[in-house]
Structure 1
C-alpha cells in the first residue's frame, strides 16, 4: 500500500527548572495515500487540450485573415481587425461556459458563437482562395471548427445537468439575487439625485419663509392668534396693521417681537401691500 507523510502538531507539557509550559511538537506520520483519480486527470487533460486548440486556432485565423485584410489596409490594422473574428466566438464560448447550468440562457451565446465561427471560417477560406490555395484555405478553416468542437467536448465533461425542478429552484434563487444586485446601482443613482436636490434647495434657500398655508391676497382679519408656535409672519403683520402700525420698520420690529424670531422683510412688504390693497 502506498503511503505519504503528513506533518502533525500537538501541544505537550515541558518543564524547565520546575516551570512547566505547553510547547508545540511536530511529528511526521505515514498515512495511506489515496488512489490516483484518473477521471480528474483526464478531465484536466481534456480542458488543457481544448485551451491549446483554441489558442492555435486564434493564432492561425488571425494570421490568415490578417494576410487577407492586409491587401487593402496597413498590416498592423489588418491583423488587429483579424483577431476580432476568432475572439468573437471564443467570447461566446466563455459566456456559454458561465451559463452552463442555465441551458435557456446559454442558447443565445451558443447560437452567436456558431455564426461567428462560420464567418471566421469563411474569411480563412477566402484567404486561401485569393492566394490560389483552395486546399490550404479549406484545411485552415477547419482548424477553427476543430477548436470549437474540442471546447464543446470539454464543456460536456464539466457539465452538471440539473433536473427540471432543480433548474426552476435555481432560476428563482438567481432571480431574487439578481434583483438585489440590480437595485444597488439604482439606489446609488437615487441617492445621488436626492443629494443634488438637497444641495440645490440649500443653495437657493427657502422659497417663502412664511409657512402659513394661506394666501396673502385674502388676509384673514377675523382671528388674532397669540400662541407663538401657531403664529405666522402673516398673522403678526396683520395684528400690527390692526393695531394701527403703518411704518414698515415698526411692523417688522413688532412682528419679530410677537414671533420671537427675525422675519423676512420681503414677506412683510408683500403682506403690507396686500393689506393696503384690501383697505
Structure 2
C-alpha cells in the first residue's frame, strides 16, 4: 500500500519552572495514499481534448472563411467577420452548459447551435470548392467544425447530472421564485425612480405657482382668513409629500407609521416611505 507523509499538530501541556502552558507539538505520520481516480482523469482528459478541438476548429474556420471573404473586402475585415461563424455555435454551447439544469430553455440554445454549425460548415465547404476547386477538400475542411462540435457535446454529457422528473419540477419551481425576486429588483428601482421624478416635477410646479405671492413657496399652512385648517379642502393635484408631512406634523402626529398613513390619505395615493422619512427627520431636527 502506498503512503504519504503528512505533518500533524496538536496542543500539549508543557511545564517549565512549575508553569504549564499549552504548546504545539508537531508529528510526522504516514497515511495511506488514496487510489488514483481514473474516472476523473479520463473526464479531465476528455474536457481538455474538447477544448483543443474547439480551439482548432475556430482557428481553421476563421482562416478558411477569412480567405474566402478576403476576395471581396479588406483582409482584416474578412478575418474579423470569419470569427463569427464558429463563435456563434461555441457561444450557443456555452449557453447550453449554463442551462444544463433547465432542459426547456437549453433546447433553444441547442437548436441554434446546430443551425450555426451547419452555416459554418457550409461556408468552409464553399471555400474548398471555390479556392481549391475540390469538393473533397471542402468536405474535409467542413468536418473539422463538426468534429469539434461532437467532441464538446460528448464532454458536456459526461459532466451532465440528469434530474428525475419530480426533482426537475422542484428545481423549476424554486428557480421561478428566485427569478421573480430578481426581476422585481430593477422593476422596484424603476418605479421608485418614476415616483421621485413625479414628486420632483409636482414640487417644481407648485413652487413656480406660489413664488409670485409668497417669499416662502414651500409653505402650505392655513391662511389667516381660515384658521381652522381641518375643514379646508385639500387640493391633491398640487399637494406634495413634503406638504403632507408638514400638515401631519402640525396636527401632532409623530409616529412614523401614522405619518405615512396620514400622508397617503392626504395624497390619495401610496406615499414613498423613504421620502416621508426624509421630511420627517427634517421636522424632528428643528423641533
Do the two structures share a fold, i.e. TM-score over 0.5? yes
Flag the 1:205–1:51 CA change in 2: closer, same or farther, 3 A: same
Inter-partner Cα distance in structure 2 for 1:75 and 1:82: 10
Secondary structure of the structure 2 residue equivalent to 1:12: strand
Quote the residue 1:138 is aligned against. 139
Quote the residue 1:87 is aligned against. 87
Query: Contact 1:128–1:138 (CA<8 Å) still a contact in 2?
Result: yes
Flag the 1:135–1:13 CA change in 2: closer, same or farther, 3 A: same
Quote the residue 2:154 is aligned against. 153
Inter-partner Cα distance in structure 2 for 1:231 and 1:143: 85
Quote the residue 2:37 is aligned against. 37
2:71 is equivalent to residue 67 of structure 1: no
Quote the residue 1:242 is aligned against. none
Give the paired residue count: 223
Flag the 1:20–1:195 CA change in 2: closer, same or farther, 3 A: farther
Larger mean Cα displacement after TM superposition, 95-104 or 3-12: 3-12
Query: Contact 1:211–1:232 (CA<8 Å) still a contact in 2?
Result: no
User: 1:232, CA displacement in angstroms?
Assistant: 4.5
1:44-123 equivalences in 2 (<5 Å): 44-123=44-123
Larger mean Cα displacement after TM superposition, 38-47 or 5-14: 5-14
Inter-partner Cα distance in structure 2 for 1:231 and 1:137: 89
Query: Contact 1:65–1:127 (CA<8 Å) still a contact in 2?
Result: yes
Quote the residue 1:173 is aligned against. 174
Flag the 1:196–1:15 CA change in 2: closer, same or farther, 3 A: farther
Inter-partner Cα distance in structure 1 for 2:37 and 2:149: 27
Deviations 1:90-135 (A, max 9, x none): 0001111111122211111111001100000000011111112322
Inter-partner Cα distance in structure 1 for 2:153 and 2:233: 79
Query: Is there any run of 5+ residues in structure 2 with no aligned partner, and where?
Result: 211-218, 235-287
Quote the residue 2:27 is aligned against. 27
User: 1:13, CA displacement in angstroms?
Assistant: 2.4
Secondary structure of the structure 2 residue equivalent to 1:230: helix
User: 1:33, CA displacement in angstroms?
Assistant: 1.3
User: 1:159, CA displacement in angstroms?
Assistant: 1.2
User: 1:48, CA displacement in angstroms?
Assistant: 0.6
Quote the residue 1:189 is aligned against. 190
Secondary structure of the structure 1 residue equivalent to 2:230: coil
Secondary structure of the structure 2 residue equivalent to 1:107: helix
Secondary structure of the structure 2 residue equivalent to 1:161: coil
Quote the residue 1:220 is aligned against. none
Inter-partner Cα distance in structure 2 for 1:233 and 1:134: 88
Larger Rg: 1
Secondary structure of the structure 2 residue equivalent to 1:73: coil
Secondary structure of the structure 1 residue equivalent to 2:100: coil
User: 1:66, CA displacement in angstroms?
Assistant: 0.2
2:19 is equivalent to residue 14 of structure 1: no
Larger mean Cα displacement after TM superposition, 100-109 or 122-131: 100-109
Quote the residue 2:163 is aligned against. 162
Query: Contact 1:65–1:79 (CA<8 Å) still a contact in 2?
Result: yes
Quote the residue 2:246 is aligned against. none
Across the aligned residues of Structure 1 and Structure 2, the Cα RMSD in angstroms comes to 2.5
Flag the 1:69–1:11 CA change in 2: closer, same or farther, 3 A: same
Query: Contact 1:14–1:21 (CA<8 Å) still a contact in 2?
Result: yes
